[in-house]
A and B are shown apart, each in its own frame.
Chain A
Amino acid sequence: MRYCFCAILLLIAGCRYSANNPDPNDTVLYSAHSAKVRGLDPGDVGDTTSAIVASQMIECLYQYHYLKRPYQVVPCLAESMPAMSGDGLVYTIKIKKGVRFYDDACFKDGKGRELKAGDFVFAWKRIADIKYLSKNWWIFDNKIIGLDEFRQYSKTCKTAADVDYNTPVEGLQTPDDWTLIIKLKGRPWPQIVDLLAHLPTAPMAKEAVDYYGKDIINHPVGTGPYKLKRWHKGSYIEMVKNPTFRDEFYPSEGEPNDIKNGLLADAGKKLPLTNRLVSVLIQENPPLWFLFLQGKIDVSGIPKDNFSEAIDLRQQLTPEMKARNIKLFTFRDPSTYWFGFNMEDEVLGKNLPLRMALSCAVDRDKYIELFTNNRGEPAYGFIPPLMSSYNPDIKNIAQTSYNVQKARKLVKEAEQIYGSKLPTLTLAMPGTDIVFRQEGDFLKRCFKDAGLDVEMDYMDWPTFQNKIKTKSAQMFTLGWIGDIPDVENFLQLFYSKNISPGSNNFNYSNPEFDKIYEKASIMPDSPEREALYRKAEEIVVKDCPAVFLVHGVAFILTHDWAYNVKPHAFAYGTAKYRRVDEAKKAAYSELLRTLK
């Protein structure tokens, strides 16, 4: 028994990563994640943490330019930007020659083979395969000629093994190994380029799927700058430089301030700039924060509980952080949070003054202060401020700013429409823990001040989702984080053909909006499309199907030995650009001693 105990201790000790780096030439970047890494199979990645980790090893046809803003898509595995036919229905993409999958046991002799256009076709058919149950079918749903038919065909197969991936799909053709032709189903799809920079569209080697089977979620096989070395579930993931990585260089252009901020010092250097990446996986925030303060994590977010320790009232670093040479980066998230109304609800759906009263009753500034540590901007529409189609005038258009007097007046109007005193409304919250309950207490109070009785219904996530899908939630708290810079991603949430169980949880329907959406969503990026997006948002905010609460602002802290840190709202595979100064890192423990 004692030996058994010792063995367990040794195992645990073996699982711990060491932040002391004995080799000065070996550079290591330590990052931390507080959510689980669910799996590293790109076709089925559905959560941010898994996507961040997998993106260091797996690449897509396109990627975002690391430094340029507004966000710009540039070729990655593709040779150049896609060639589009005149009607916008056929895309021809040339793939870089000589790109190799990294060495893995799944390939012949363990040597990674060259990437071919067929690997993309295989990966996308796999997402279409109903037996594979990918979370990412929404990307290709009703877009490419023959792919939906392939999905139907996979439905008829008895088992997953029966699905024949050699079944041709008309819309996905590979005239040679380096050319990919995508034919669309009669409707242009301008978002395709952004989506081809999205991890689920990454190529997949058939050998890897055959070799690992279901275990593929633990064995990413990509073409990226890093390859997986070790993954101790729930402890850490270690990635090492991929020796066969193609020639990719640090960008030499960026924003005007980038030279001043030292972000172009490494211009033209071969990527990646760091030898190893270690992602520490700890679900509790306090230990993560202490590891960061001790210098054992190089880049970190700020846990809610430690916010006042790191950031002062002017939203600047506190003297304690400055003394540690810690740097702060803030950037706008492509996110909007709201509580939505079920427009099919008897009470809410037909009562615009009531919906507006609820919106006017919420003190957004106080909400942001209490629940986000001021890491947010008040929202009055759904398009986040970092998007080019954001309308700075949306607050005046919506007419739903915090105003208790106005809310009370609107409640009286609402009562007249309803015919009697308004009944108690119910707001569904997707969690039962104290954070949700405090939020509920706050909102309840806001509504009460306006003379509205609202009850909170706290529930777990599956119950919540079920309520929304079955249209049985009267009001619900939710949000959306944009996957791509195209605002169509947000607009589709209000399109009448997407109502529940689709993504339009509001069950909102407005023919005028639908018309604009249908027109704008197939237009290429242009000032004209932007104007249409704004018009569509205007229609929505005037109908008030939701109380738009807050747009997220993210805060990132780094130690001074981590270079080339520039937060990016959409790109995940950015560790290859980062550089670590090990000498500076080694001096940090000395600095900590003097600070004590």
Chain B
Amino acid sequence: MGFKHMFSGVGKRVKKCWTFAGSHYRFVFFIGLLSGIVLLLFSHKFVEYTSTDSSCEACHVHPQATSSWKLSVHYGNTSGVIVHCVDCHLPPDGIKYLTAKAKTGIKDIWGFLLKNKDKIDWEAKSTLEHAKKHTFNASCTHCHQNLFQLDLSQQGVNAHLDYVNNPEGKVCIQCHLDAGHYDPNALHAHNTEFAEMPDESREIYTQPAVVSSFESFTEFIPKSPVSFEMITVPEGIFTLGSPEKEALRDEDEGPQRRIKISKFFMGKVEVSWEEYMAFFSQTSAEGKSETSSSGNGEVDGITGATPPWGAPDQGWGKETRPAITMTHHAASVYCQWLSSITGKNYRLPTEAEWEYACRGGTETAYFFEGSAKDYSEEKFWNKIFGADTSIIAGYVCYRGNIPNKTQKPSFVKENPFGLINMLGNVAEFCSDWYSPEIYSTYPTGNRVAVNPKGPASGKEHVIRGGAYWSDAKDVRSAARENTQHDSWLLTDPQIPKSIWWYSDSKHVGFRVVCEWDGE
């Protein structure tokens, strides 16, 4: 027994130990390796399986999305290639793919278990605003690597050049919303059929209304079956803007000023599609230059709008729904046209006239009971526990009762002057340029400003009243907003862009006022 033996003993033990433990370790190692491979294969299979259209449809139960997809060019096209759910609704391969997949998966299981799918507003889910959230632009460009295919039109070239050179803030589906899910209203082209009027069995008016006294009247649009109500707004003095203590107000609503307004007539409702289409069909001419502006105000001298871009009514229907997507310029030309065919003095309201008419003598946040604090979803309490919106919902089309589209006027009750939809439904153009500081330039103290008209010049116009998608705080009587001319024309690929139709705005319309030049 020596040194050597001792070592051989150690060696044996080590060897034995290795053999014993080794066989175990190796076993464990092999099991690990095997299960690793199985897991890998399985997870690959799993990922693959859960990425099929039928797997998507298993939980995302929306048959209309499946059928609109099958009608789209992503399904039926000359190349025979089918673009599947995950190709657009998940990012292209990589870690982001898996994380986004896990996220949508969890969200979906949550929705599947806890939500009533019949109560989901699928129409809202197909709007651009929502589609942007679950369509990955990187996935669009992952497949569509060539944005300048041989048969691309020059307008397409112009639009794609604009995208390639300034991609910020732009996504493919702004113009190609219908690529993955067919939607006849998402057509991104000149809509030359828009002016076609349905067969008319109604009486065609030949004469406009005759107004001899300051009383509400019904105006008739000559050469059309369209009439609309004009309501008297008495003269008076009111306080423009909101007090500093008004809940959820913005800075530009002050400082408050005393304003004197002369009497005038105002449209009972926002200018409807019927009214606007009468203008459009009587004045428009296809192929008119986008740059040619308004006429000289004579009966036959009004240059009307060019054909609109896509479906201006968003497919919600026309008739008595408020007309939307026209530019401020187009709305002004409408008033000129209406004046010329009725022999009266129609125009857009000033901002002060608008707020005076909206308030109808009230000085509170709304012309009905309540404050923005009670109704706004921006209030934590309301968001979590819900708010009692029964009062506001009776007067206003807003996010709280009908979030996705405009409504016909009969949906809500009138204000103290008898006007409908002053708040909500669509925001309304005023004639004023927008300036956040303009109120402070009006007289203070006992002095009043008489029929103020806003800044002498500017870039954007005032819009008032909030819209169907606005939060309760943005449909207060004093709430102010302004046009965003450039971004509302973002996806109009024409050079120059239209002066008549906004390609990227669908929540603004207008209401006419008529001046009273009697006693």
Q: Does A associate with B in a complex?
A: no
Chain B residues with a Cβ under 8 A of chain A: none
Chain A residues with a Cβ under 8 A of chain B: none
